Amino acid sequence: MMIKKLDTVEELQQLIMVFSLAFKNDYTVSDPYLQSLLQNDSATVLGAYVEKELVGGLVAFEILPIHGSKEMYIYDIAVHPGHQKQGIGKKLIEHLQQIAKEKGVKTIFVEAEAEDDHAVAFYRALGGEEVLVNHFNFNV
């Protein structure tokens, strides 16, 4: 298995397909939108490959809070259903931790819906500190 930073629209389209399978949701994302993601300096997009096949990945964003301690937010992480339970998600997060350390990031955080037992168990198994919060969305 190999983890690498994704840097082409084609790779991101492959990752979208993995996310669609893992989240059981159809995503249609335009190439120009994905190109803008690649050009976003705060974004980190990682892919996990098994024998040249993209089987998982994550999208994270660096955040600069006013208190002066950089943070990183994992917006999406998924592994192809046929490749889950093989340590791929763990390797993705470990790779992101190394990148975050190099960037001076002090904390990485991720959200999981309380009813998503698999995600909650995964983050607990990795030793994540669980903080209960209320999440509010504001439509624009």
The residues that are catalytic are: 111, 123
CA trace torsion 90, 91, 92, 97 (10° rounding): 90
Q: Would you call 68 helix, strand, or coil by DSSP?
A: coil
Contact 92, 127 (CB under 8 A): no
Alpha-carbon distances, residue 25 vs 9, 18, 38 (angstroms):
20, 10, 23
What is the number of alpha carbons within 13 Å of residue 28 lying toward its C-beta?
A: 0
The side-by-side arrangement of strands in the sheet containing 107-110 is: 2-5, 43-50, 53-63, 71-79, 107-110
How far is Cα 3 from Cα 56, in angstroms, rounded to an integer?
Answer: 9
